Amino acid sequence: MQDPGASRIAEPPGRPGRRRDPSVDDRVIEATLELLVAGGFEAMTMEAVATRAGTGKAGIYRRWGTKQVLVVDAVLRSGLGASDSVVPDSGTLRGDLTAIVGSETAKATRQKTRLLEGLLVVIREDPQLRAVVTNALIEPRVAAIRTALDRAHDRGEMSSSVDRETLAAVLPSMLFYRLLVSREPVTRVWQHEIVDGIIAWAQRR
């Protein structure tokens, strides 16, 4: 799944010398994500990561060969997007969508989106990173919505002529746009307005 040539540099087992401090790994990954969320790929300088993690650049390059590799690993280990993996069947489309909308805290949504924003620049010219970001951050949520829509379709709650792939993109699209472009707050009311809209869309004749 993961390109071995572009991933973390492993610590060879059974060799002499001092062992790597595992806490450095965690601190670096954490600092990387914080800086990416705060200021994007450009603001995330290796110097800043090292300082924030309380280590030196050498310690980072000993584990990750390049900045790109570090970013990929950080995204993979961010855990963002994990909350979307389970979708309990509530029995109605509204119930499922409400659950999905509520599955993430507002803070998590903001972090995920800002992380995505910070990576947009690099994503443009790095297909590998794009794939990683898509799989780790975006696809889980779209998949959850798709599942909800499929269930609604099976229950006959939804018109067959509606393209479920397009409809599944509505909520992520509007979140993305609101957080990055119009920059208005993501409120409960706003989210439920969208859920209502999606339901109407699903039931169109």
Partner DNA sequence: TGGTTTCGAAACCGACAGGTCTCGATGTTA
Partner DNA sequence: TAACATCGAGACCTGTCGGTTTCGAAACCA
Name the site residues for a copy of itself (rule: CB under 8 A): 39-40, 42, 116-117, 120-121, 124, 134, 138, 162-163, 166-167, 169-170, 172-174, 176-178, 180-182, 190, 193-194, 196-201, 203-205
Q: Are 158 and 199 within 8 A, CB to CB?
A: no
Nearer to DNA, 66 or 134 (CB): 66
Q: Are 158 and 148 within 8 A, CB to CB?
A: no
Rounded to a whole number of angstroms, the minimum distance from the CB of residue 111 to DNA is 21
Rounded to a whole number of angstroms, the minimum distance from the CB of residue 135 to a copy of itself is 12
CA dihedral of residues 149, 93, 140, 81 (deg, nearest 10): 170
Question: What is the C-alpha radius of gyration for the chain, rounded to an integer number of angstroms?
Answer: 20
Residue 57 contacts DNA per CB under 7 A = yes
Q: Which residues of 158-197 are buried (b: 16+ CB within 10 A; e: fewer)?
A: beeebebeebbbebbebbbebbeeeeeeeeeeebeebbee
From 1, 4, 5, 17, residue interacting with DNA (rule: CB under 7 A): 17
Residue 46 contacts DNA per CB under 7 A = yes
Rounded to a whole number of angstroms, the minimum distance from the CB of residue 50 to DNA is 7
The site for DNA (CB under 7 A) is made up of 11, 14-21, 24, 44-47, 51, 54-59, 61-62, 65-68
